Structure formats: structure tokens, C-alpha cells
Amino acid sequence: MGFFDFCMVDLGLLEATAKEYRRKLKRFFRAVKKPARDITAEDVRRFLKPLSMGNANTWGNMLKPLKRFFRDYMKKSEAVESFRFRKAPLKPLMVPSKDELRRFYGKLRTPIARALFLMYAATGLRRMELLSLRKGDVDWERRMIVPQNHAGETKRSWVTFFNEEAEEALGEYLKTRKDDSPKLFRISSHSFIDVWRHAWQDSGVRVTPQVLRGWFCDEMGRLGVPDRYVDAFCGQLPKSVLAKCYSDFSPERLRDIYEQAGLRIMS
């Protein structure tokens, strides 16, 4: 069984996460030019050194697949056991204004880019959650999404919804599709990055899926949605709470709350 299958079957990771780990490992092996069995901690250290003084999230996103591969898959813990994840410093959340979002949106060049933008802003989903969605995860009549659940301890998912703006953009994108793939969005990692980079450069506004997740939380709070329901839309409630208080967090109840909020991005 290869590493990709190990991530999917043994670890229960999302397909998009497994693909991202595989892509980062290819980058690692291209750089070190050594077979996996010969890799030492010093090889890993030299590779990670340029990232050591940078963003803690960038460091962590590279270290995760290395630990998964060498510690869990290869059973070669000595290559990665000395490297630690780092906590990002706490910073105030700076969310863009609606005018800034509109300016950014106006610079998006393709139907898939516009659909991704509005779906992130309308649902509060994490980057990989949205990219991992299949068409069958969407209840089109109720505009409801049931993300593929995480198997990990720190990330969970429940249900969330999208508004009419996102529905229209998603429909326009799907009209351009000429394949039968069950995936809701078909986009490579490079194309996904290009979607955001071009719009950043053209609009002067830096927007990412994480920024849109933050904007969703802030805007829903401004619209009067209680924090516990915003947390439910974003998959941030413990399973024990969801099970104990199901009636408060049932899809029907959450849909009513979402619709009453009247979330709008472009107006």
C-alpha cells in the first residue's frame, strides 16, 4: 500500500488532504535527492531551515506530511522526532469590508474562481472541506452542505448552508463542466493558488479561504446569530454537545437560523 492509500485508509484523511501531503513530499524528495530509507534528521533539518524563521502555519503545513510519512508510514521516527510544531502568535482578526470583498470578487477571472469565493464566504467551510466536497454532499433543494467528516481530534464538521448568491455562482460554474466527476470542484493545487494570487494583485486586497471563514464568523455575529450556532456552521462544536443537544443543532433548526440571518456578500 502506498503513502496516499495509507493516508486515506489507515488515517482516514480527506482525499484532498492526502493529495496535498503527497504533493509536499514530492517537493521534499526533489530537494534532498535521496531515497526514503536513507533520509536522516539532518536532511530534514536542511530542508526545513529556510522555513524556520517564517510563518508558523507554513512551517506546520510542511512538517505534518513529513511526520506522517516518516513516523507513521515508514516507522522511521528518528528522522522527524526532534522537530516541533510552533504556535502562531495571537493576532487580532482583520476581516475585509464588503467593499473590499466586492473589489476582490470583481477581479476573479473564471466561473470556478467566483463560485469558490462565494461558497467560502457563504458557508464558513475550511479550505480542504470545500475542495473535498462531492456533488452528493449537497442538498440542492435546501442549499445545505454535509461536509465529509474529519477523523481527527481537532477538526470536526456538521452541516452548513449557502445563500442565493453562492447558488447562482455555483450553477454558472457547473454549466462549464463537461465531465461526470462526482467532485463538486475540479481544480489543481496550482490553479487554486493562481485564483487567489491574480485577484490579490489586481485588486490590492488579500483574501484567502481562511480570511473568508473569518469574515463569515464575524458577519454572522453582526447579523445577530449566537456564537454557538456560528460554531456549529463552522464545525467547531464538540461531538458530545451536538449529540446531547441535537434538537438545538438539527439541520432544520440551523437552516431556519441561517435563512433568518439573511447573509449577503455582494450587496
Q: Do residue 205 and residue 73 come from a single domain?
A: no
Q: Do residue 116 and residue 59 come from a single domain?
A: no
The answer to the question of residue 212 being in a domain is yes
Q: Do residue 110 and residue 214 come from a single domain?
A: yes
pLDDT at 203: 96
Residue 149: pLDDT band by 50, 70, 90 thresholds?
low
* Total number of domains in the chain: 2
pLDDT at 1: 63
The answer to the question of residue 85 being in a domain is no
What is the value of pTM for the model shown?
0.75
Q: Do residue 126 and residue 256 come from a single domain?
A: yes
The answer to the question of residue 93 being in a domain is no
The answer to the question of residue 89 being in a domain is no
Q: Do residue 162 and residue 210 come from a single domain?
A: yes
Compute the mean pLDDT over every residue in the chain, rounded to the nearest whole number.
Answer: 91
Domain assignment of residue 223, given as a range: 98-261
The answer to the question of residue 90 being in a domain is no
Residue 65: pLDDT band by 50, 70, 90 thresholds?
very high
Q: Do residue 46 and residue 104 come from a single domain?
A: no
Domain containing residue 235: CATH number: 1.10.443.10
Q: Do residue 211 and residue 238 come from a single domain?
A: yes
Classify burial at 75, counting beta carbons within 10 Å of its beta carbon; exposed 0-12, middle 13-18, buried 19 or more.
exposed
The answer to the question of residue 121 being in a domain is yes
Residue 50 has pLDDT above 50, yes or no: yes
d(CA 36, CA 6): 16
Q: Do residue 132 and residue 50 come from a single domain?
A: no
d(CA 129, CA 117): 14
In sign, the C-alpha dihedral spanning 109, 111, 113, 114 is positive
Residue 154 has pLDDT above 90, yes or no: no
User: What spatial distance separates the first Cα and last Cα of the chain, rounded to whole Å?
Assistant: 50
pLDDT digits (tens, 9 = 90+) for 225-238: 999 999 999 988 77
pLDDT (mean) for 164-189: 95
**CA 220 → CA 81, 138, 174, 263, distances in Å?**
41, 21, 27, 7
Q: Do residue 68 and residue 104 come from a single domain?
A: no
Residues paired with residue 183 on neighbouring β-strands, in sequence order: 134
What are the φ/ψ torsions at residue 161 (nearest 5 degrees)?
Answer: -140, 165
Residue 55: pLDDT band by 50, 70, 90 thresholds?
confident
Q: Do residue 186 and residue 114 come from a single domain?
A: yes
